[in-house]
Amino acid sequence: MDRVNAALRRVPPGLIYMGATLWAGWMFWRGVAGRLGPEPVEVLEHAYGDLALKLLVLGLAVTPLRRFVGLNLMTFRRAIGVTTFFLVLAHLAVWAVLDVQSLDRVWADIVKRPYVTVGMAAFVLLLPLALTSNSWSVRRLGPAWRQLHKLVYPAAILAALHFLWLVKGFQLEPILWLVAILALLATRLRMKPRVAADSPAPAKDSIQSWG
């Protein structure tokens, strides 16, 4: 695992931003070009949301992977978190602008449809995390920054419930994602901070961001 971690340290986190931006743009172009089937808006909306949920789970898995497996992805956690929010924002924009197409209907859906309500709640919880995912906020907020970024825990649960209520009929995939999130959060109940005496302290702005 040491070789893997050494190789990962040579990978710039910026590749995550670049890859997500190119993928999101490519998917949007496919929709415009009519290559996403008869319901391109729905496909695009679900594609952005699906990848956002997967990255959210990956962000939650960073700490357990480091503790229990020895795989160190801490360098990428901020990029994973910010990219997650970018895709959530894209998911929301496609739904509001291309699907619903009316501010009144957007508000009506938020109020009347439970899966939209919890999805919007997850977005609201992720918003301050995205706004404070920078070194200036780490210095400015101090210890409160770590507590603020724990909002990712309820946000992840709400995102999984959003997916679960969104699908029609019984489907195993959203249940598995919810179970995975709950399992990853459960690992934190038993984990205590532990830093080896001979290990360098991790960068202050990479310890607790996004999970």
Q: What is the pLDDT of residues 49-83, one digit of tens each?
A: 999 999 999 999 999 999 999 999 999 999 999 99
Residue 211 belongs to some domain of the structure: no
Do the Cβ atoms of 163 and 40 come closer than 8 Å?
no
Q: Report d(CA 1, CA 55) in Å as an integer.
A: 22
Give the per-residue pLDDT at 191: 58
Count Cβ atoms below 10 Å from residue 94 Cβ, excluding itself.
Answer: 24
Range of the domain at 41: 2-191
pLDDT of residue 51: 98
| Distance in angstroms (rounded) separating the CA atoms of residues 132 and 149 | 9
Q: Decide if 104 is inside a domain.
A: yes
Question: Would residue 142 count as lying in a domain?
Answer: yes
Regions of the chain short of the pLDDT cut 70: 190-211
Asked if residue 200 is part of any domain, the answer here is no
Task: Say if 29 falls within a structural domain.
Answer: yes
Count structural domains, the chain: 1
Residue 49 lies in a domain: yes
What per-residue confidence (pLDDT) applies to 63? 94
**Residue 55 in domain:** yes
In a domain, 37, yes or no: yes
